[in-house]
């Protein structure tokens, strides 16, 4: 039975490869000319929110990251992303805006592939479930303080929330630790590279205004 058995093993490899080429390799080929940005390149553009974080929590910030510069920003981003992965935030929040269901009105500009071609999307964090809102246009939607308060107790700022509190991002006195600052820096970075995010859904008046 060696021959026949081998035939099925080979069939398995061949069908796998066929699917892999069609669904995996071709997209890679399509995007082969998109440059892959390294973390060092990304961290050159420091968003305003990160500078503010240093002003909002000077003591904690200095202890965690030192000065505001690309190196410390890079450190904050990769730490924040690690927290995002470890806590499974990506099972409750997606990171892409679709061109349908009015998502551009709700969240902001529709996602494009270039935005994701970087070291912080290795692996990509697209996500497949939204219990909370999409986060790829999160930068600047809320203040740093809002985020810090939100991570301490989501229901203090959003009473209906089912997001878990993350008390271990805080020390005994309730001051944010390195993880809290890092995850805040990370969510405030998401989408900081696109032009002003429309605020429609959080501001119904603005939406009404736009319609007039």
| Least Å from the CB of residue 208 to ligand HEC | 20
- CA-closest candidate to residue 133, choices 167, 161, 166: 161
Count of residues in the chain? 212
Residue among 43 and 94 whose Cβ is closer to ligand HEM: 94
How far apart CA 62 and CA 181 sit, in angstroms, is 11
Q: Using DSSP, state whether 164 is helix, strand or coil.
A: coil
* Gyration radius of the chain over CA positions: 21
Binding to ligand HEC, residues 136-155 (CB under 6 A) = 138, 141, 147, 154
Task: Kindly tell me which residue out of 26, 158, 206, 210 binds ligand HEC, with binding defined by CB under 6 A.
Answer: 158
Which of the choices ligand HEM, ligand HEC, other proteins, none does residue 187 contact, using the CB cut-off of 5 to 8 A by kind?
A: ligand HEC
| Residue closer to ligand HEC, measured from CB, 61 or 189 | 189
Task: Map the footprint of other proteins across residues 106-125, applying CB under 8 A.
Answer: 106, 111-113, 115-119, 121-125
Q: Could you tell me the smallest distance in angstroms from the CB atom of residue 198 to other proteins?
A: 12
Residue (of 90, 119, 117, 144) closest to 33 by Cα position: 117
Q: Does residue 91 interact with ligand HEM by CB under 6 A?
A: yes
By CB under 6 A, residue 131 contacts ligand HEC? yes
Q: Could you tell me the two tokens for 13?
A: 């490899």
One of 131, 158, 206, 208 touching ligand HEM (CB under 6 A): 131
Return the structure tokens found at 179: 């993880």
């Amino acid at each position: 039975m060696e021959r026949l058995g081998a035939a099925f093993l080979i069939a398995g490899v061949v069908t796998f490869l066929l699917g892999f080429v069609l669904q995996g390799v071709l997209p890679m080929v399509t995007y082969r000319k998109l440059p892959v940005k390294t973390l060092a390149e990304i961290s050159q553009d420091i968003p305003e929110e990160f500078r503010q974080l240093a002003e909002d929590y000077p003591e904690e910030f200095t202890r965690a990251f030192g000065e505001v510069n690309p190196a410390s920003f890079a450190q904050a981003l990769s730490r924040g992303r690690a927290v995002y992965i470890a806590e499974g935030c990506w099972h409750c929040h997606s990171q892409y805006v679709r061109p349908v269901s009015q998502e551009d009105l709700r969240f902001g500009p529709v996602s494009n592939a270039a935005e994701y071609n970087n070291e912080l999307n290795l692996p990509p964090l697209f996500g497949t479930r939204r219990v909370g809102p999409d986060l790829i246009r999160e930068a600047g939607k809320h203040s740093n303080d809002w985020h810090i308060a939100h991570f301490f107790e989501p229901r203090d700022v959003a009473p209906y929330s089912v997001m878990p509190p993350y008390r271990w991002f805080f020390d005994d006195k309730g001051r944010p630790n390195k993880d809290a600052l890092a995850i805040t820096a990370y969510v405030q970075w998401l989408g900081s590279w696109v032009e002003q995010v429309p605020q429609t859904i959080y501001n119904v008046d603005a939406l009404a205004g736009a319609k007039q």
